[in-house]
């Protein structure tokens, strides 16, 4: 035992020494910033291709729901009875199903129990102190399961593990089969404003009414997938949801004076609306401005009494991954259609809001919904659903076809620009979530950036197209600088699990959105980016994409190798800090002697064999073998000719190339280059993240010139690079990244305005470069370099 331990220690120290050597080796300029992601990405297979598209054996599960819900406003309880039909489209036999019981997160005893570390407070409230009492008392929230049976009412065995429930199937569910089962349940609705969470109620003390938002409200299937098996990671309140597509039929029994909005299409408006409201609904179908279906006066009147009667609203939704609804007697409801050009889909855009938000929502909400689905349709896929709704509920949360937003006015109906823009931003964002992740159905529990980041990016594009001066907080590169500047112990890569992120907003929203904006504006250009981004949306609409599917599609559709960008921006925490260290100046010297220098060289036979295997060498040595390239000369490439061309060259002899004197330049040429000045700019990469070099030159005559050097300039030396320019005007200053496109965290080193005393460089006549190939590799033609930039 002891002996082997010694060996182990010895090996460990060997490993650490060599690792240290690699890091500390001052000569090593080449890390792995430009290497392919390779094995970091999952191996492509029949379900997901190497191009980033769904494979030819792609499959996904399906779950249909038939639910009856009963809202008890007096007891603040929601009761439900649901039938789920689960379709096994996977090639696997399933022994059990996993069901999400998200409402258990509100329970003090059934929640996932992911604690955060804590310290003694400087001040605290008595309610917080009592909340921290041990052992935790049951606060009475969370799902109460009344019955779990098969379709015939026979009890199924199940186990609840905090926010997850496993149902053991009576017999294995084979490929292509479906299983129908029933769950009866109820739960006490939480005060969302006090307890937090995405759903629950808000109480309005002034009129004694409630506004209910019913979200994560029914037991629902986990995703079973080719890449993860069951996604049954606990719901902690942070990482959002992974859900299976299916069809919904939902009946909601609520007080008769409530108005309901829901995922899907209302099936019995003629029963639940008054004749006047129904007439307004019909009029709204062809309106060009929002039409009030439930008016402000009707909502105000309904607030004043509480009906003891009940009504049942019926909604149906097809091919959705989730279903949410809202109910209150406080709601005003307006609607207006928006036609999506690409699929000719007429979408009823609608808003529901209490009188407290009337001044803002009546004016902007439905129009913002229409603008959002139209703009997102242009950048992704045409909006496929029949409705899109924005509900004012003093929060921000998204579901298919319906979302909850904020934005209330002062009592007198006035509001600030800040509240208005905040409201517009949240409506665009939450409606935008219809695309990411409701349709392009990524796994939010695992990757927050795949929905929040992508959505925040298109939100930014949509805000810009709403109002060119819209004060977007996320998207522009300079807005991420403060985050990128943080010490490394407060940062984690974008590629981190949702539960493990410290700075959630910057990490999952801003940084990925900014990264996509940089790709679009600075690295790929709009044409390539937009096509690739749309390709990703089209490929993965109504499917379950993974990060690799996105990374691969963006490259596949654009022809841009972006692995360096994914590596740097998504997998690392390095910031951008590129500095201009030094500028060296030189002017032409037509009388210099250096150009008369002689270059001596021997012709070397090209090394054909050192990287080839023995079978190729033997084939070549076998005179009986004729190669296809020998017979078909059109297949002969440069190397073929190069090789043959040297057959008659004496490889032992030393050849000489003589430099040609500057006197050989014509007067015209001298005149042309007389005023040329060369500037060598030395850059260093202080932050670690490589980026294109965007340069703005300002000349003494006041004129400006811009150039952009792609990030690949760093590929052979990731720490320092130099770039030389020749100008026929005197340079006054150089600015790196003048438009703050790259999120450079220190712009104080991005400027150069003092230049060294000029040195001289010799100018000579162009020569036959071909002859010198391989002999004098250091020789470059400065005129060519200058010509390229002008
Ligand atoms: Zn969001």
With 90 as the cut, is the pLDDT of residue 769 above it?
Answer: no
Cβ atoms of 144 and 185 closer than 8 Å: yes
Q: Residue 593 has what pLDDT?
A: 53
Query: DSSP string covering 149-191, please?
Result: EETTS-B--EEEETTEEEEEEEEEE-TT-EEEEEEEEEEEPPB
Q: How far is the CA of 241 from the centre of ligand 1 (A)?
A: 12
Q: Residue 660 has what pLDDT?
A: 53
By mean pLDDT, which of 299-313, 458-472, 733-747, 749-763 is the weakest? 749-763
Q: How far is the CA of 533 from the centre of ligand 1 (A)?
A: 19
Q: How far is the CA of 164 from the centre of ligand 1 (A)?
A: 24
Q: How far is the CA of 347 from the centre of ligand 1 (A)?
A: 22
Structure tokens at 87: 């379709």
Secondary structure class of 722 (helix, strand, coil): strand
With vertex at residue 451, the alpha carbon angle to CA 463 and CA 468, rounded to the nearest 5 degrees, is 10
Confidence of residue 17 (pLDDT cuts 50, 70, 90): very low
Q: How far is the CA of 456 from the centre of ligand 1 (A)?
A: 7
By mean pLDDT, which of 28-37, 72-81, 208-217, 414-423 is the weakest? 28-37
Q: Residue 656's CB: how many other CB atoms inside 10 A?
A: 9
Q: How far is the CA of 135 from the centre of ligand 1 (A)?
A: 35
Q: How far is the CA of 568 from the centre of ligand 1 (A)?
A: 24
Q: How far is the CA of 690 from the centre of ligand 1 (A)?
A: 29
By mean pLDDT, which of 47-51, 398-402, 416-420, 614-618 is the weakest? 614-618
Break the chain down into helix, strand, coil percent, rounded to 5.
30, 25, 40
Structure tokens at 431: 């409606």
Cβ atoms of 324 and 402 closer than 8 Å: yes
Residue 293 per-residue DSSP state: E
Q: How far is the CA of 170 from the centre of ligand 1 (A)?
A: 39
Q: How far is the CA of 360 from the centre of ligand 1 (A)?
A: 21
Q: How far is the CA of 197 from the centre of ligand 1 (A)?
A: 14
pLDDT digits (tens, 9 = 90+) for 107-130: 999 999 888 888 888 887 777 777
Alpha helix segments (H runs only) across 433-544: 448, 454-466, 481-484, 504, 511-518, 526-540
Q: Residue 633 has what pLDDT?
A: 60
**Environment class of 497 (CB within 10 Å of its CB; exposed 0-12, middle 13-18, buried 19+):** middle
Q: Residue 671 has what pLDDT?
A: 83
Confidence of residue 602 (pLDDT cuts 50, 70, 90): low
Tell me what the mean pLDDT of segment 696-715 comes to. 94
Q: How far is the CA of 455 from the centre of ligand 1 (A)?
A: 7
Confidence of residue 652 (pLDDT cuts 50, 70, 90): confident
Length of the chain, please?
790
Q: How far is the CA of 348 from the centre of ligand 1 (A)?
A: 22
pLDDT digits (tens, 9 = 90+) for 544-597: 999 999 999 999 999 999 999 999 999 999 999 999 999 988 888 776 554 445
Q: How far is the CA of 423 from the centre of ligand 1 (A)?
A: 14
Q: How far is the CA of 397 from the centre of ligand 1 (A)?
A: 7
Q: How far is the CA of 438 from the centre of ligand 1 (A)?
A: 11
Q: How far is the CA of 361 from the centre of ligand 1 (A)?
A: 20
Q: Residue 616 has what pLDDT?
A: 56
Report in angstroms the alpha-carbon separations of 495 from 298, 379, 446, 567.
50, 24, 9, 10
With 60 as the cut, is the pLDDT of residue 172 above it?
Answer: yes
Q: Tell me which residue of 479, 389, 498 sits closest to 434, measured CA to CA.
A: 389
Q: How far is the CA of 494 from the centre of ligand 1 (A)?
A: 15
Four-CA torsion 238, 239, 245, 246, nearest 10 degrees: -30
Q: How far is the CA of 422 from the centre of ligand 1 (A)?
A: 14
Q: Residue 3's CB: how many other CB atoms inside 10 A?
A: 7
Q: How far is the CA of 330 from the centre of ligand 1 (A)?
A: 26
Q: How far is the CA of 509 from the centre of ligand 1 (A)?
A: 8
Max CA pair span of the chain: 109
Q: How far is the CA of 502 from the centre of ligand 1 (A)?
A: 17
Confidence of residue 670 (pLDDT cuts 50, 70, 90): confident
With 50 as the cut, is the pLDDT of residue 644 above it?
Answer: no
Q: How far is the CA of 344 from the centre of ligand 1 (A)?
A: 27
Q: How far is the CA of 14 from the centre of ligand 1 (A)?
A: 48
Q: How far is the CA of 591 from the centre of ligand 1 (A)?
A: 67
Q: How far is the CA of 670 from the centre of ligand 1 (A)?
A: 63
Four-CA torsion 236, 239, 245, 246, nearest 10 degrees: 30
Q: Is 213 left (phi over 0), alpha (psi -120 to 50) or beta?
A: beta
Q: Residue 615 has what pLDDT?
A: 61
Strand 759-762 vs strand 578-589: parallel, antiparallel, or unpaired?
A: parallel
Q: How far is the CA of 449 from the centre of ligand 1 (A)?
A: 10
Tell me what the mean pLDDT of segment 138-147 comes to. 96
Q: How far is the CA of 251 from the centre of ligand 1 (A)?
A: 28
Secondary structure class of 282 (helix, strand, coil): helix
Alpha helix segments (H runs only) across 575-666: 614-621, 628-631, 638-645
Q: How far is the CA of 467 from the centre of ligand 1 (A)?
A: 21
Q: How far is the CA of 323 from the centre of ligand 1 (A)?
A: 17
- Neighbouring-strand partners of residue 722: 682
Q: Residue 650 has what pLDDT?
A: 67
Tell me the C-alpha distance between 196 and 578, whole Å: 43
Q: How far is the CA of 650 from the centre of ligand 1 (A)?
A: 71
Q: How far is the CA of 569 from the centre of ligand 1 (A)?
A: 20
Confidence of residue 653 (pLDDT cuts 50, 70, 90): confident
Residues 6+ away with beta carbon under 8 Å from 257: 302, 305, 306, 307, 309, 329
Q: How far is the CA of 142 from the centre of ligand 1 (A)?
A: 25
Helices and strands per DSSP (H, E), number in the chain: 22, 33
Q: How far is the CA of 106 from the centre of ligand 1 (A)?
A: 21
Q: Residue 617 has what pLDDT?
A: 56
Q: How far is the CA of 505 from the centre of ligand 1 (A)?
A: 10
Q: How far is the CA of 376 from the centre of ligand 1 (A)?
A: 15
pLDDT digits (tens, 9 = 90+) for 362-389: 999 999 999 999 999 999 999 999 999 9
Q: How far is the CA of 440 from the centre of ligand 1 (A)?
A: 14
Strand 677-685 vs strand 720-727: parallel, antiparallel, or unpaired?
A: antiparallel
Report in angstroms the alpha-carbon separations of 590 from 319, 668, 724, 764.
76, 13, 20, 8
Q: How far is the CA of 315 from the centre of ligand 1 (A)?
A: 25
**Environment class of 153 (CB within 10 Å of its CB; exposed 0-12, middle 13-18, buried 19+):** exposed
Q: Residue 588 has what pLDDT?
A: 81
Tell me what the mean pLDDT of segment 623-635 comes to. 62
Q: Residue 29 has what pLDDT?
A: 67
* DSSP element (H, E) containing 327: strand 325-328
Four-residue CA torsion sign, 525, 526, 530, 531? negative
Q: How far is the CA of 751 from the centre of ligand 1 (A)?
A: 38
Tell me the C-alpha distance between 790 and 784, whole Å: 10
Q: How far is the CA of 757 from the centre of ligand 1 (A)?
A: 55
Q: How far is the CA of 336 from the centre of ligand 1 (A)?
A: 24
Cβ atoms of 263 and 320 closer than 8 Å: yes
Q: Residue 663 has what pLDDT?
A: 55
Q: Residue 425 has what pLDDT?
A: 96
Whose tokens are 């855009």? That residue is 349
Q: How far is the CA of 145 from the centre of ligand 1 (A)?
A: 30
Structure tokens at 95: 């022994």
Average pLDDT of every residue of the chain:
87
With 60 as the cut, is the pLDDT of residue 199 above it?
Answer: yes
Q: Residue 39 has what pLDDT?
A: 85
pLDDT digits (tens, 9 = 90+) for 244-288: 999 999 999 999 999 999 999 999 999 999 999 999 999 999 999
Tell me the C-alpha distance between 10 and 339, whole Å: 71
Q: How far is the CA of 398 from the centre of ligand 1 (A)?
A: 7
pLDDT digits (tens, 9 = 90+) for 300-339: 999 999 999 999 999 999 999 999 999 999 999 999 999 9
Q: How far is the CA of 1 from the centre of ligand 1 (A)?
A: 55
Q: How far is the CA of 430 from the centre of ligand 1 (A)?
A: 6
Confidence of residue 143 (pLDDT cuts 50, 70, 90): very high
Four-residue CA torsion sign, 126, 129, 133, 137? positive
Q: How far is the CA of 452 from the centre of ligand 1 (A)?
A: 5
Confidence of residue 7 (pLDDT cuts 50, 70, 90): very low
With 50 as the cut, is the pLDDT of residue 19 above it?
Answer: no
Q: How far is the CA of 199 from the centre of ligand 1 (A)?
A: 15
Structure tokens at 289: 């401005």
Q: How far is the CA of 444 from the centre of ligand 1 (A)?
A: 10
Sheet containing 220-221: which strands, arranged edge to edge? 158-161, 164-173, 94-100, 220-221
Q: Which residue has the higher pLDDT, 464 or 595?
A: 464
């Amino acid at each position: 035992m002891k002996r082997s331990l010694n060996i182990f220690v010895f090996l460990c120290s060997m490993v650490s020494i060599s690792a240290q050597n690699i890091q500390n080796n001052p000569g090593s300029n080449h890390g792995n910033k430009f290497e392919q992601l390779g094995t970091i990405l999952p191996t492509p297979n029949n379900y997901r291709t190497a191009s980033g598209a769904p494979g030819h054996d792609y499959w996904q599960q399906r779950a249909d729901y038939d639910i009856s819900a009963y809202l008890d406003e007096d007891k603040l309880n929601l009761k439900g009875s649901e039938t789920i039909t689960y379709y096994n489209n996977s090639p696997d036999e399933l022994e059990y199903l996993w069901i999400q019981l998200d409402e258990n997160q509100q329970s003090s005893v059934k929640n996932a129990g992911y604690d955060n570390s804590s310290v003694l407070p400087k001040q605290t409230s008595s309610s917080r102190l009592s909340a921290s009492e041990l052992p935790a008392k049951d606060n009475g929230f969370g799902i109460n399961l009344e019955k779990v049976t098969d379709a015939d009412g026979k009890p199924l065995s199940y186990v609840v593990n905090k926010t997850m429930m496993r149902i053991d199937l009576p017999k294995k569910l084979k490929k292509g089969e479906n299983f129908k089962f029933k769950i009866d349940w109820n739960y006490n609705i939480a005060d969302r404003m006090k307890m937090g969470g995405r759903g629950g109620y808000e109480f309005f003390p002034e009129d004694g009414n409630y506004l209910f938002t019913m979200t994560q409200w029914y037991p629902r299937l986990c995703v079973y997938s080719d890449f993860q098996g069951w996604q049954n990671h606990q719901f902690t309140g942070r990482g959002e949801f992974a859900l299976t597509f299916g069809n919904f039929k939902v009946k909601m029994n609520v007080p008769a004076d409530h108005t309901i909005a829901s995922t899907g299409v209302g099936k019995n408006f003629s029963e639940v609306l008054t004749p006047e409201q129904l007439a307004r609904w019909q009029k709204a179908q062809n309106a060009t401005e929002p039409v009030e279906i439930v008016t402000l006066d009707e909502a105000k009147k309904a607030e004043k009494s509480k009906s003891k009667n009940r009504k049942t609203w019926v909604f149906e939704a097809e091919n959705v991954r989730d279903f949410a609804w809202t109910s209150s007697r406080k709601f005003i409801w307006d609607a207006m259609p928006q036609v999506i050009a690409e699929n000719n889909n007429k979408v009823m855009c609608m808003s529901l809001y209490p009188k407290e938000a009337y001044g803002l929502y009546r004016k902007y909400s439905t129009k913002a919904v229409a603008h959002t689905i139209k703009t997102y349709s242009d950048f992704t896929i045409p909006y496929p659903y029949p409705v899109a709704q924005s509900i004012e509920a003093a929060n921000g949360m998204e579901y298919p076809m319906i979302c909850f937003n904020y934005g209330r006015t002062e009592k007198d109906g006035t509001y600030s620009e800040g509240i208005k823009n905040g409201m517009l931003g949240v409506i665009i964002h939450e409606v935008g979530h219809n695309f990411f992740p409701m349709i392009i159905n990524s796994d939010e529990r695992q990757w927050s950036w795949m929905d929040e980041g992508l959505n925040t990016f298109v939100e930014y594009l949509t805000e810009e197209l709403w109002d060119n001066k819209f004060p977007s907080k996320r998207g522009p590169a300079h807005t991420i600088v403060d985050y990128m500047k943080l010490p490394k112990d407060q940062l984690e890569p974008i590629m981190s699990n949702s539960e493990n992120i410290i700075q959630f907003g910057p990490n999952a929203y801003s940084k990925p959105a900014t990264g996509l904006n940089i790709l679009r504006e600075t690295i790929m250009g709009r044409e390539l980016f937009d096509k690739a981004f749309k390709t990703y949306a089209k490929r993965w609409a109504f499917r379950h994409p993974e990060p690799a599917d996105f990374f691969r599609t963006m490259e596949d559709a654009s022809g841009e190798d972006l692995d360096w960008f994914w590596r740097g921006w998504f997998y690392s925490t390095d910031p951008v800090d590129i500095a201009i260290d030094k500028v060296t100046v030189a002017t032409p010297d037509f009388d210099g002697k250096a150009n008369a220098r002689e270059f001596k060289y021997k012709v070397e036979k090209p090394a054909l064999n050192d990287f080839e295997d023995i079978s190729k060498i033997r084939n070549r040595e076998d005179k009986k073998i004729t190669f296809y390239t020998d017979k078909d000369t059109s297949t002969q490439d440069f190397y073929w000719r190069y090789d043959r061309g040297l057959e008659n060259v004496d490889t032992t002899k030393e050849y000489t190339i003589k430099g040609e004197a500057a006197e050989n330049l014509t007067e015209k040429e001298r005149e042309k280059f007389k005023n040329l000045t060369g500037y060598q700019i030395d850059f260093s990469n202080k932050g670690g993240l490589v980026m294109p070099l965007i340069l703005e030159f300002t000349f003494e005559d006041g004129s400006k010139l811009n150039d952009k050097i792609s990030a690949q300039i760093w590929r052979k030396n990731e720490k320092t690079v130099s770039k030389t320019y020749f100008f026929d005007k005197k340079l006054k200053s150089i600015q790196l990244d003048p438009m703050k496109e790259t999120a450079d965290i220190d712009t104080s080193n991005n400027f150069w305005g003092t230049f060294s005393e000029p040195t001289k460089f010799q100018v000579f006549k162009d020569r036959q470069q071909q002859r010198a190939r391989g002999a004098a590799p250091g020789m470059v033609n400065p005129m060519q370099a200058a010509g390229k930039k002008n």
